[in-house]
Amino acid sequence: MNINLTLIMQAVAFAVFIWFSARFIWPYLMNQVAERQKMIADGIAAGEQGRQNLATAEKRVDELVAEARSKASEIVAQGEKQRSETVEHAKREAQAEADRIVAAAKAEIAQEVARAKEELRRQVSTLAVAGAGKILKREVDAGAHASMLREIEAQL
């Protein structure tokens, strides 16, 4: 156990190694570690953020679905109403048309009846004249009795 110059040289070597690690190793790796810690913290924060976003989005989706559902049922109800209205309307229209047709038919029938009466009247007068002629068994001057016939015609 003898102390010699080695002690001083070892101390110098030690000092140089301390300087080297303090200058070139420690700060870089500590920076690195700090940076990585920050990165991991950021990642965790981002994950948390994502989770929250997802929850918000899910809530929003639920809202949207509920809204869509109510809107759809509303639309269906509206459609139902519209349909019944349309049917009602068509019914009314058809009824009116039918009434109109019936009225027209009635009018035509009335007209037809009138015309038939007229015709009948005319034929009856002719028939009466012919009958009368036969009854009288003589020539009847149609021209002389025209005014008389017309009178009878009018009375029918």
CB of 38 to another protein, least distance (A): 9
Task: Output 44 or 113, the one with its CB closest to another protein.
Answer: 44
**Interaction pattern, residues 9-28, with another protein; x per rule: CB under 8 A:** xxx-xxx-xx-xxx-xxx-x
**Interaction pattern, residues 35-74, with another protein; x per rule: CB under 8 A:** xx--x-----------------------------------
CB of 23 to another protein, least distance (A): 8
The distance of Cα 54 from the centroid of its chain, to the nearest Å, equals 33
Helix, strand, coil % (nearest 5) of the chain? 95, 0, 5
Backbone angles phi, psi at 3, to 5 degrees: -80, 130
65's CB contacts (< 8 A; 6+ apart) are none
125's CB contacts (< 8 A; 6+ apart) are 149, 152, 153, 156
CB of 42 to another protein, least distance (A): 11
> Judged by CB under 8 A, does residue 3 bind another protein?
yes
Task: Output 32 or 86, the one with its CB closest to another protein.
Answer: 32
Distance CA 85, CA 107 (A): 32
- Counting every residue written for the chain, the total comes to 156
Token pair recorded at residue 21: 């690690």
Task: Output 12 or 94, the one with its CB closest to another protein.
Answer: 12
Alpha helices in 21-138 (DSSP H): 26-136
Binders of another protein among 113-132, rule CB under 8 A? none
Task: Output 22 or 57, the one with its CB closest to another protein.
Answer: 22
Residues that bind another protein (CB under 8 A): 1-11, 13-15, 17-18, 20-22, 24-26, 28-30, 32-33, 35-36, 39
